[in-house]
Amino acid sequence: MAVERLFKDEATEEKGERARMASFVGAMAIADLVKTTLGPKGMDKILQSTGRGRSVTVTNDGATILKSLHIDNPAAKVLVDISKVQDDEVGDGTTSVVVLAGELLREAEKLVNAKIHPMTIISGYRVAAECARNALLEKVVDNKQDAEKFKSDLMKIAMTTLSSKILSQDKEHFAKLAVDAVMRLKGSTNLEAIQIIKKPGGSLKDSFLDEGFILDKKIGIGQPKRIENAKILVANTAMDTDKVKIYGARVRVDSMSKVAEIEGAEKEKMREKVQKIIAHGINCFVNRQLIYNFPEELFADAGVLAIEHADFDGIERLALVTGGEIASTFDNPESVKLGQCKLIEEIMIGEDKLIHFSGCEMGQACTIVLRGASSHVLDEAERSLHDALCVLSQTVNDSRVLFGGGWPEMVMAKAVDELARKTPGKKSHAIEAFSRALLAIPTIIADNAGLDSAELVSQLRAEHHEEGSAAGIDVISGSVGDMAELGISEAFKVKQAVLLSATEAAEMILRVDEIITCAPRRREDRM
């Protein structure tokens, strides 16, 4: 007797082969979707949001593409998830990780069809991933000791990362920007100290790195536009008529004259506050909250530059840069640490006026001003630059470097292949499949560049047969080239993260043999 209904209405259940098929298909579809963006000649995608305004994003960044998709297939969501984590953790390689996981599943599907149990495939993949990692570890180059070489490594990594992005035309320019910015951080991974300001207009080439700090705010009217040797007080305080914070307090008066009195008292209070602030001996005051007209006028009278409504990040960064502390009370001027900088001035970028703080106490912070034809270009440029900065800052900590251009994949594939030959049992099929999946990445890079991938990859394989080869795909000339000469490098940390998370995700999807989808929660119609 069949059970009519075990689940609630609309809940579905898929079992065994069907479940596995559904997840394979979903995962591969996602991988195919981002596949064409891989490599220096990868294409971009246009994403249109369904929200109001139908805003459009043009991007080549895997994580951004996947984040914006609305996906129903559960397995596909797993892949979206790993790409997001890759983005958070190392910042780059978001496309590669999805493509590799997709390829691993594609190979797994073939094996499952050949009647190999998924658990066997998983154990094979695990062995293979470990072996691939060890192969990479053997080949890493670490130039931490040699500052000169290290810098050139960083430069190469930045160029490699940027070459697959919109910035590839000016990659040298931007790579230099990114490396300079990261070198200023002196080893910390705190990317908050690097500020990116986007201003439409001009061309990408006009982008520049500024060693100071730029705040996208206007200077109050009638206040000095240029201050040398500025003493800055960074504050987070209410500069409108101060609220009385005691609960339940309210003003209750019985005549007009009293209203006037209270108003006077209020003004007096504000004046006092401003006096206190000025008594710190400052000539610049930056507040997170609004500054009303009245105190602004007082500041102007005292010749103090007052900047209102700087956002949270803005003041935190400013405090960091100038070495001041964020103040909220002003009773003990002697103990508040003031921020300092050599020069504050209003500058023009394009048509906008910005406030520029230069000669700051702490040299770590800097600002990158991006210029470009449209806001789409700028957004994409920011994403690309962010990727590069992330990778660089991670590399500064873990300075192991590999060649790029499909070289690491070839090295791993070779090692894994050798392992497959040595391993007895069904596992070896899975290990072999792993090496095929690795080879898919250089193949896709070549395909995307419109090259004869079959020819190139087989050439590469022959090259790699020799120990210590540095051959990889040179997409520009369309042939096999020496990666060491071409200066194409990648960070070891990125590659390792790609390898490990892709294997983990593939394994997770392989282990599933049943999908149970609950009925979607009913939402009340808002129409």
Partner 1 sequence: MALAFDEFGRPFIIIKEQESKTRLRGLDAQKANIAAGKAVARILRTSLGPKGMDKMLQSPDGDITITNDGATILEQMDVDNQIAKLMVELSRSQDYEIGDGTTGVVVMAGALLEQAERLLERGIHPIRIAEGYEMASRIAYEHLERIAQKFEFDATNTEPLIQTCMTTLSSKIVNRCKRSLAEIAVKAVLAVADLERRDVNLDLIKVEGKVGGKLEDTELIYGIIVDKDMSHPQMPKEIQDAKIAILTCPFEPPKPKTKHKVDIDTVEKFQTLRQQEQKYFDDMVQKCKDVGATLVICQWGFDDEANHLLMHRNLPAVRWVGGVELELIAIATGGRIVPRFQELTPEKLGRAGLVREKAFGTTKDRMIYIEHCANSRAVTIFIRGGNKMMIEETKRSIHDALCVARNLIRNNSIVYGGGAAEISCSIAVEAAADKYPGVEQYAIRAFADALDSVPMALAENSGLQPIETLSAVKSQQIKENNPWCGIDCNDVGTNDMREQNVFETLIGKQQQMLLATQVVKMILKIDDVISPSDY
Query: Is 95 a catalytic site residue?
Result: yes
Angle between helices 492-510 and 375-397 (to 10 degrees): 100
Rounded to 5°, the CA angle 86-89-92 comes to 55
Annotated catalytic residue within 57, 61, 153, 423 = 61
Nearer to partner 1, 384 or 453 (CB): 384
How far, in Å, CA of 70 to CA of 413, rounded? Answer: 34
Annotated catalytic residue within 87, 92, 379, 387 = 387
Convert residues 82-101 into a mask of x (bound to partner 1 by CB under 8 A) and - (unbound).
x-xx-xxxxx----------
Nearer to partner 1, 186 or 521 (CB): 521
Mark the segment that binds partner 1 (CB under 8 A) among 38-46, 178-186, 224-232, 237-245.
Answer: 237-245
CB of 297 to partner 1, least distance (A): 22
CB of 78 to partner 1, least distance (A): 7
Strand partners, 490: 402
Nearer to partner 1, 36 or 96 (CB): 96
Rounded to 5°, the CA angle 137-138-141 comes to 80
Asked if 239 and 287 count as a contact pair (C-beta separation under 8 A), the reply is yes
Size of the site for partner 1 (CB under 8 A): 89
CB of 465 to partner 1, least distance (A): 32
Q: Does 114 bind partner 1 (CB under 8 A)?
A: no
Q: Give the residue, chosen from 261, 301, 311, 352, that forms a contact with partner 1 under the rule CB under 8 A.
A: 261
Token pair of 4 as six digits: 């009519």
* Sequence-distant (≥ 6) Cβ neighbours of residue 236 within 8 angstroms: 287, 288, 289, 315, 326, 327, 328
Specify the DSSP class assigned to residue 192.
G
Query: Is 94 a catalytic site residue?
Result: yes
Enumerate residues 1-40 that contact partner 1 by CB under 8 A: 1-3, 5-9, 11, 13, 19, 23
How far, in Å, CA of 289 to CA of 74, rounded? Answer: 44
Asked if 320 and 268 count as a contact pair (C-beta separation under 8 A), the reply is no
Enumerate residues 338-357 that contact partner 1 by CB under 8 A: none
Rounded to 5°, the CA angle 163-165-171 comes to 45
Enumerate residues 375-414 that contact partner 1 by CB under 8 A: 390, 393-394
Q: Give the residue, chosen from 81, 180, 210, 418, that forms a contact with partner 1 under the rule CB under 8 A.
A: 81
Convert residues 478-517 into a mask of x (bound to partner 1 by CB under 8 A) and - (unbound).
----------------------xx--xx-xx--xxxxxxx
CB of 259 to partner 1, least distance (A): 10
How far, in Å, CA of 495 to CA of 463, rounded? Answer: 21
Cα separation of the two ends of the chain: 44
CA–centroid distance for 431 within its chain: 33
CB of 51 to partner 1, least distance (A): 18
